[in-house]
Chain A
Amino acid sequence: MAIAESTITTEEDQLTGVRERPVPTTAAVRPAATPGEVVLDVHDLATYFYTYDGVVHALEGVSFRVRKGETVGLVGETGCGKSVTAFSITRLISDPPGRIVHGTIRYQGANLLWGLDREAKFKPIKNSKMVKVSRKFRRIRAANERMRAVRGRGISMIFQEPQQAMNPVFTIWDQLGEALYLHRGIELLDSLLAATPDDPEVGPALDAFVEAARPRNAEQARDAARRVAMAVQVPSFETELLQTLRQASVETDFDRPRLNSMLKRFRLTPLQRSWLRRERRRLELDRETCDIYLDEMRDGHLHRARKAAVRSQRLPNSLRRFPLRLWGINRHVQKPVKRELYWQSVRLLEGVRIANPAQVARGYPHELSGGMLQRVMIAMALSTDPPLLLADEPTTALDVTIQAQILDLMNDLKTRVGTAIMLITHDLAVIAEVADRVCVMYAGQIVENAPVRELFEAPLHPYTQGLIASIPRVDRPEKALFSIPGSVPNLIYPPAGCRFHPRCPQAMPVCREVRPPVTDEGNGHQVACHLYHGKTVEQ
């Protein structure tokens, strides 16, 4: 592969992302995404697991960037550290045994690993391969608290096994609603407080809906429902009307009294209204706290005064100080919120094309198939329109037909909201379909990082070449399958030098001793291999 000198990108370009990068002329099918702002910048990340057998070097010097509106694929074999990378970014590594040892993770400028070096001390044990880790739990708790500002609202995650990620004792809408309330609570309460069930336009719109509902004219009913929802100023009411219409038997009269009773949930009692206002204030303070946390991580120092100011206004998260402590009052004041959460959950399920969402929302996780649960997970992850989505093998357990549906959904989100997606998978075919840029991981390190077309047309690293050659192709069956000899190394004793050298067909003496630097080979193609001698990239 020829190195195009003109297209070498400097580190500066990538950091600022202002200057247009030279676009390879071959890009004809997929428009090359113009470099947007960097949403996620992972630099020299190392995560170890301290086990009784020794220290597992699961990640060692992982660096990559994800830009706005870009899909970055992370591929590699089982146990190469793909999921550990995602869990490190959201700081969900189970600790103990795991710990992020060093590195920086910048999410929109905020350093998620701020204060990492003060969270634990590492002391090697004499005559042993083990390390004593003394953790400072106060600091770890503080870091966890700060991560609240990022998780969900900033970085959403789709987990690999939806059966394990969902809570079996709560219904689907309980769980969707909880995520919604935590991250979109203020907007939700606002819309409830601003609802206008007695607006003069509501009456005629409802009449139109009754007209359309009687002969079951789906098209007109949809229009009418939208108009009603606009008049009431609660978008989820449209879903409620249409779903109720769907579930109602043909004989049921869809008359005004019934619709009026449905509108009742927006007529708040003074007690409910005052509770909603109070709840809104509480959520507002919480959001302010989160903003302060983000600022702290961005500026690298504590904002003690600001936090104290917020804390002084703090309201307790209960009704204990509420004027009335009567039996059932809790239920009464929360009812409008709960119903709104239910219908918004149904709306989310509609968005991920689940048939019969109103019934699915009331069900429990075990009642759904793997594909449906995965879609529920996606609905939950997308409910906050996050700037960054980490999808950890979202389609691995699914059939091809469902996989196609889900990949379409994720692409749709990318174009609609401009979400940056980090897609973790071991299936290169999926990567080829949806990713813009690919990072190939091997044994805890990124060995190659390139735009997707570049990677499939001219893979540089011998590992990537082997990986691509070993995929069975449905469109080119004649080719004999290539297989990489050997298996993934034990990461307690990773091979010295290049970690791939024991399996590499082109291994040289130098590979055994020196870890190859990451070099830039043009066209945004970076590789860590001694075979290539491009400009070394600062890692």
Chain B
Amino acid sequence: MEGGTNGSQVVVSTYNLRKYFPVRGGLFSSHIADVKAVDGVTFDIREGETVGLVGESGCGKTTVGRLMLRLIEPSSGHTYYRPPADVVQKLETDYARLRDMPLEGDNGTPESSPEATAALRELDELATSHSLYRKSHKEMLALRSKLQIVFQDPFSSLSPRMLVRDILAEPLEVHHIGNRRERYQRVAELIQQVGLNPDHVWRFPHEFSGGQRQRLAIARALALRPEFIVLDEPTSALDVSVQAQILNILKQLQGEFHLAYLFISHHLSVVRAISDRVVVMYLGKVAEKADTHDLFVRPLHPYTQALLSAIPIPDPTLHRERIVLSGDVPSPVAPPPGCRFHTRCPAVMPVCSKVEPPLLEVRPRHWVACHLYPQGIDRASEAAPTLAAGSPPMLAGAGS
């Protein structure tokens, strides 16, 4: 839980989310291993805010998005939708307290202090009462109207057999909102909100281009007046000119309806254009999270620095050093011990392969999980001047 400085309310928050997919094989398809797709992810999203979730393919971005909507069940951890203030308070203190204790392994239960055990139990009780994953089917159905998603591929996320009008009216129908006439009025309203022509409701999805289809998918997500939308790579299948249209529409709708977005993407320039805060994931874990400007101007984690330096910049006059990461992302079935990035890290130290770095707030509102910053940024800049000096050369002057 990040300490909120601005007054706006938290819409969705996840706490220590984990998802292990079992790998079955061998004799009688026994359970032989786990794909640790998501391994302890914590962040929250406030009203009218966009949080960007970035990382390479296979790092668990999409899984986090699905978990947050309860499209799949987590292995452990919680997601809260509009958590009451006292719960937030409680979780924050508990989290702070637990963070100071040595967290061990997956259960994270230091038996040493009874206080900690009590705190954990309290946390569990809170979780049972508020977590999205403990809601009944009926409660969930009511909640789903507030939590929506736009999928990556607009060519497969719209039914080819339905008229656009029926596609957009279906969510209203499922939730028994209005009579037929009112629903179709709402559809006409929606289709104009995403910048399409009201006549388009009489068409089928195949008659639209990729960008128009993505608009339809956004209109469908908006139908129930949600408060939180997961955007799962909404522009990666589109051309730049169309991508700009979609991003502008998303921004405009956010201003109009005060929506909270989780913007999942591997395209960092897009994330910079739309997000307020960014969470960088690597192999199921959060490597760094910070405000967008802060992250892009002063990335701290070596992985973030490498990612940023790899983005091509549409300016042929600009020349900069690139940090080229060698090799591929390791398999999430057997992630490397210690820091998961140490196999590719340009600033690797002996400790990295042994101890897993905790996610620490090394600067105000800037969390990093890296051994380069053991006590916060001031000490770190002395310890490792080359990397902690901040940004790769290309971004040093660019952000200002």
Contact = CB atoms under 8 A, between A and B. Distances in A.
Given A430-B312, A474-B272, A487-B212, A481 B325 contact: no
B161 interface: no
A428 B307 contact: no
B187 interface: no
A405 B57 contact: no
A401 B56 contact: yes
Contacts of B318: 475
Given A456-B316, A471-B269, A487-B211, A401 B310 contact: yes
Contacts, number: 140
B245 interface: yes
Given A432-B315, A483-B242, A483-B245, A474 B308 contact: yes
Contacts of A407: 312
B319 to A, nearest CB: 5
Interface stretch (A217-225, A340-348, A462-470): A462-470
Nearest to B266: A399
Contacts of B399: 475, 477
A280 interface: no
Given A405-B324, A477-B273, A400 B311 contact: yes
Contacts of A487: 209, 211-212, 242
Contacts of B267: 400, 472
Contacts of B243: 470, 472
Contacts of A466: 241
A472 B315 contact: no
A481 B273 contact: yes
B326 interface: yes
A472 B317 contact: no
A480 B252 CA distance: 12
B240 A470 contact: yes
Contact of A470 (B241, B266, B394): B241
Interface in A193-226: none
Nearest to A470: B244
Question: Which range holds the interface residue count of chain A?
Answer: 35 or more
A9 interface: no
B244 A468 contact: no
B256 interface: no
Contacts of B328: 355, 369, 371-372, 402
B313 interface: yes
Contacts of B270: 472
Given A428-B314, A432-B314, A472-B273, A78 B307 contact: no
A78 B209 CA distance: 10
B35 interface: no
Contact of A353 (B58, B309, B326): B326
A29 B310 contact: no
A350 to B, nearest CB: 13
B326 A474 contact: no
A369, A456, A487, most chain B CB atoms within 10 A: A487
Interface string A216-247: 00000000000000000000000000000000
A481 B244 CA distance: 6
B239 A77 contact: yes
Given A426-B239, A477-B273, A471 B57 contact: no
A98 B314 CA distance: 34
A484 B240 CA distance: 10
Contacts of B209: 487-488
Contacts of B322: 404, 408
B261 to A, nearest CB: 15
Contacts of B326: 353, 355
B247 interface: yes
A482 B309 CA distance: 25
B375 interface: no
Contacts of A468: 314
Nearest to A436: B316
B313 A400 contact: no
A488 B241 CA distance: 11
B314 A456 contact: yes
Nearest to B210: A78
A102 interface: no
B247 A481 contact: yes
Contact of B57 (A399, A431, A452): A399
Given A369-B328, A401-B307, A484-B241, A429 B266 contact: no
B324 A404 contact: yes
B306 interface: yes
A165 to B, nearest CB: 19
A29 B244 contact: no
Q: Which of B239, B272, B324 has the most A CB atoms < 10 Å from its CB? A: B239
Contacts of A471: 240, 244, 269, 314
17 contacts: A29-B317, A78-B210, A399-B57, A404-B324, A427-B312, A428-B240, A428-B314, A429-B312, A429-B314, A432-B314, A433-B316, A453-B316, A453-B317, A475-B394, A483-B244, A487-B211, A487-B212
Closest 7 CB pairs of A and B: A475-B398, A429-B312, A470-B244, A483-B244, A472-B273, A474-B269, A481-B244
Given A400-B312, A456-B314, A472-B272, 13 more contacts: A371-B328, A400-B307, A429-B312, A429-B314, A431-B314, A433-B316, A467-B241, A474-B398, A476-B398, A477-B399, A481-B244, A481-B248, A483-B244
Interface of B: 56-58, 209-212, 239-245, 247-248, 266-270, 272-273, 292-293, 296, 306-319, 322, 324-328, 394-395, 398-399
Interface of A: 29-30, 77-78, 353, 355, 369-372, 399-405, 407-408, 426-433, 452-453, 456-457, 466-468, 470-477, 480-484, 487-488
